Copies of this chain bind each other. A is one copy, B any other.
Amino acid sequence: MKARVHVMLKNGVLDPQGEAVRHALGAMGFDGVEGVRQGKVIDLELAEGTTEAQVAEMCEKLLANTVIESYKIEMGA
């Protein structure tokens, strides 16, 4: 089975990487890019029967820095 985890910086946390992308897009002539936030996506291939609670524990302990990042789990088939 699969699970996908999105890890994004929390709102209010400065995102220099996203800001750099926004600036670069503007410099390349893409108008109308008003904001960019960049995060991580982690695709996990898991043994059958792994629960969302277990994936949440992985996020809390390793995948996300919960002081500044939030995470969202999508369990797949």
A residues near B (Cβ < 8 Å) are 6, 8, 18, 21, 24-25, 28, 30-47, 49-50, 54, 57-58, 61-63
Contacts and interface: CB of A to CB of B under 8 A. Distances in A.
A46 B34 contact: yes
A18 B42 contact: yes
A14 to B, nearest CB: 15
Contacts of A6: 41
For the complex formed by this chain, how many copies does it contain in all? Answer: 2
Nearest to A24: B62
Contacts of A63: 21
Given A39-B41, A40-B39, A32 B47 contact: yes
Contacts of A39: 40-43
